[in-house]
Amino acid sequence: MSDIGVHSNLYQRAREYADLVDEVLLQLKAGTSDPADTSRRKLAALLVGLGSPAVGDLSAAWLSLVLGRVGADGREEWVRLGDSLLSAIAHPYMIEQLQDLARVLEIQRTDALAKMRGVGT
């Protein structure tokens, strides 16, 4: 796969994950989120999958790649957030952490777009 193809794929994945985070974030802020929501469960599974030493889920592996700059401590935070999303109680800190995740994804998406355009390579 060419460099443009790799960066295009990373861009698309970051966008998909950002859309998912935004959906869950909006539901939490509106007070309409439930642990049984498909989007919330999907995001939780992705985040929990980051903690697995041998990532068996391809989507979690892609998320790990997109979040590649995040160290081990960062991954532990995302795993805890995933566990929290599965719980019945919506803790206020979840919104703040999801906003942080949205920022990280936006940075990665912008970076991938710049690399596709040949800037910053």
- 64 in any annotated domain: yes
| 65 or 116: which leads in pLDDT | 116
**How confident is the model at residue 77, as a pLDDT?**
83
- 120 in any annotated domain: no
- 70 in any annotated domain: yes
| Start-to-end Cα distance in the chain | 16
- 121 in any annotated domain: no
pLDDT tens profile 26-77: 999 998 989 999 999 999 998 888 877 555 566 777 777 667 655 556 678 8
- 50 in any annotated domain: yes
| Cβ–Cβ < 8 Å for 48, 83 | yes
Q: Which domain holds residue 106?
A: 3-115
**How confident is the model at residue 1, as a pLDDT?**
46
> How many domains would you assign to the chain?
1
pLDDT for residue 121 is more than 80 = no
Residue 4 one-letter amino acid: I
- Predicted TM-score of the model (pTM): 0.81
**How confident is the model at residue 53, as a pLDDT?**
58
- 71 in any annotated domain: yes
- 69 in any annotated domain: yes
| Cβ–Cβ < 8 Å for 9, 115 | no
| Cβ–Cβ < 8 Å for 85, 44 | yes
Mean of per-residue pLDDT scores for the chain: 82
